[in-house]
Structure 1
């Protein structure tokens, strides 16, 4: 088993370039830092390209010890893919202030949306979520996590969105990358095709926009629809406006102009969850009568 003790080792230097979008694109790799994300990967049987770990740091907790044991006995990972490193090296690899002892390296195509879609339980998922030039990595990660919890169909990202694979997005998404189908760099022509395919005969594209007189909770969210969330500073793009069939807003009191993008997305997605739960409940009570 390989052991690396110097942060200036060429392999480590290469991995440090993955903290930038340019480095990720050049090498076709990205990082997932921490035990929770590695465990999520192993549970989903998505095998990392490589895993760099510091045993002493992992062994500080019962969960870390169990994960280390599991990691070293996962048949799908060969010895050459498991690289033990020193404290200095694991600190150099990570972005968090205190390393949790493990960093996984994945290929950019490891999260193929078609593959992730096949792994999901079958079911009706009305919402197709479109993020239109979203800029903040924390917002992106929070939206990914919320969208997975609210069981959206998939997420489409416009080409100018913050990098889906950036460490800050990956960290704040807390494992959503592993389970939620996301298509990146989707142009508006492809977007139209995806929406038509999702919605069928009745195309409904809702655009979250402060100031609209149409409230989000007045809409029927039980049938397939697309929801566009725009850029935090500038709002939706002209293309997003053209594609929308209806702008919707969230009521705001006390002269508050708008909500954080992730918060607004969560409110609308959970109205979808509420309406669909009511719809299922009403349908089943009719059947019993």
Structure 2
């Protein structure tokens, strides 16, 4: 019972901080790198092992080092676990402003390089799966979905 109340309190506190500062967290090297590559600028990056940090920024352009100056913090792995939304923390997370996402999405929509695409869903039987796929399509900028029986 005590664990549930601690976990619940932690979750409420974390959500309150996210709402108060209008931020969201991205966990893991790959997701963090992907977010940076599409143009999001982290407000902070927290890591617990040097190897996690190196694997994240190895393939990023050199300008990232300039952007990240003074925004990278090493913290104990136990701290990462308390902040993490997953059972086993990947050891690195980035904090981004929500308004930055809207700006990047707007830029992407107006870019001539972005092509429209259609998703065809064949024989989807579970409404829950359909909802998940439709949300993913919307997030990716899909303009049309075709359903088959």
TM-score (ref. length: structure 1): 0.36
Report the CA distance shift for 1:122/1:41 in structure 2 as closer, same or farther (over 3 A).
closer
Offset, 1:116? 3.5
CA distance in 2, matches of 1:84, 1:140: 39
In the alignment, structure 2 segments of 5+ residues that lack a partner are: 1-10, 120-127
Conserved in 2, the CA contact under 8 Å of 1:57 and 1:101?
no
CA distance in 2, matches of 1:88, 1:123: 43
Higher gyration radius (CA)? 1
In the alignment, structure 1 segments of 5+ residues that lack a partner are: 1-15, 59-63, 128-135, 154-220, 222-268, 273-289
Offset, 1:45? 2.3
Partner of 2:56: 67
What do residues 84-134 of structure 1 show as CA deviations (whole Å, max 9, x unaligned)?
A: 11111111111111111111101110111423323473444679xxxxxxx
Offset, 1:141? 6.0
> 142, 145, 148: which one pairs with 1:152?
142
Partner of 1:280: none
Partner of 2:38: 44
SS in 1 for 2:65: coil
Partner of 1:24: 18
Report the CA distance shift for 1:41/1:18 in structure 2 as closer, same or farther (over 3 A).
farther
Partner of 1:78: 68
Report the CA distance shift for 1:35/1:17 in structure 2 as closer, same or farther (over 3 A).
farther
Greater helix proportion: 2
RMSD: 3.7
Conserved in 2, the CA contact under 8 Å of 1:57 and 1:100?
no
Return the structure number with greater relative CO, CA threshold 8 A, min gap 6: 2
Conserved in 2, the CA contact under 8 Å of 1:53 and 1:102?
yes
CA distance in 2, matches of 1:80, 1:40: 21
> 90, 96, 107: which one pairs with 1:106?
96
Report the CA distance shift for 1:97/1:114 in structure 2 as closer, same or farther (over 3 A).
same
TM-score (ref. length: structure 2): 0.63
Report the CA distance shift for 1:103/1:124 in structure 2 as closer, same or farther (over 3 A).
closer
